[in-house]
């Protein structure tokens, strides 16, 4: 008896590591060697590759592929149809080099955003819907557009607290631990 939920249409390969209380929804595919932390929600038609790591209490919305080389820390939100990459100079032929992407704790990625591999998304940052992110994003930074540029700064709730280019000195780092546990 597993202590996580898997919809009958989902495929969870032997050797996938799934934490207690996780939910794997319709037509998702979790490969052997993937890691999904406790309490995480893997939406409809999500693919989690061998070697991909999803932390605790993450929410991955429909139609997202979390490729090998992608690491999501705890409490990360990935909006519907967001796109990760893991090959910076892709070709259909020859060898390729996997390039990592690290998403720090509490970050939120908007719908349809595209994340070029080799970057780090800082703690509690927000990526706007449809952004194409080509560089590191600072903690609490809000970025938007193609290529993504600073649009402002968000607090732990995701509320925009500044439209400045630089982090407001009054904005605290972190704060997720003080939030209520999701029900």
Ligand X SMILES: CC(C)(COP(=O)(O)OP(=O)(O)OC[C@H]1O[C@@H](n2cnc3c(N)ncnc32)[C@H](O)[C@@H]1OP(=O)(O)O)[C@@H](O)C(=O)NCCC(=O)NCCS
Q: Which residues bind ligand X (CB under 6 A)?
A: 79, 110-111, 126, 128-130, 142, 144-145, 151, 160
Cβ-based nearer residue to ligand X, 35 or 142? 142
Residue nearer to ligand X on the CB measure, 102 or 129: 129
CB of 145 to ligand X, least distance (A): 5
d(CA 56, CA 39): 6
Pick 16 or 128: Cβ nearer ligand X: 128
Handedness of CA 87, 92, 96, 98 (dihedral sign): positive
Q: How far is the CB of 74 from ligand X (least distance, A)?
A: 19
The nearer residue to ligand X, 160 or 165, going by C-beta atoms, is 160
CB of 137 to ligand X, least distance (A): 13
Shortest-Cβ-distance residue relative to ligand X: 110
Q: Which residue in this structure is represented by tokens 């592929």?
A: 65
């Amino acid at each position: 008896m597993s202590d996580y939920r898997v919809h009958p249409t989902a495929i969870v390969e032997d050797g996938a590591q799934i934490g207690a209380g996780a939910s794997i929804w319709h037509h998702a595919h979790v490969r052997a060697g993937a890691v999904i932390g406790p309490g995480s929600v893997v939406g409809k038609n999500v693919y989690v590759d061998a070697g991909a790591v999803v932390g605790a209490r993450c929410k991955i919305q429909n139609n997202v592929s979390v490729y090998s080389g992608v690491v999501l820390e705890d409490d990360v939100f990935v909006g519907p149809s967001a796109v990760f990459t893991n090959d910076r100079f892709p070709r259909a032929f020859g060898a390729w080099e996997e390039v990592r992407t690290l998403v720090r704790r509490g970050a939120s990625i908007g719908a349809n955003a595209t994340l070029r591999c080799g970057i780090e998304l800082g703690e509690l940052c927000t990526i706007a819907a449809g952004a194409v992110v080509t560089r590191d994003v600072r903690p609490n930074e809000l970025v938007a557009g193609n290529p993504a540029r600073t649009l402002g700064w968000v607090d732990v709730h995701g509320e925009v607290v500044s439209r400045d280019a630089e982090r407001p000195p009054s904005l605290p780092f972190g704060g997720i631990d003080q939030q209520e546990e999701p029900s």
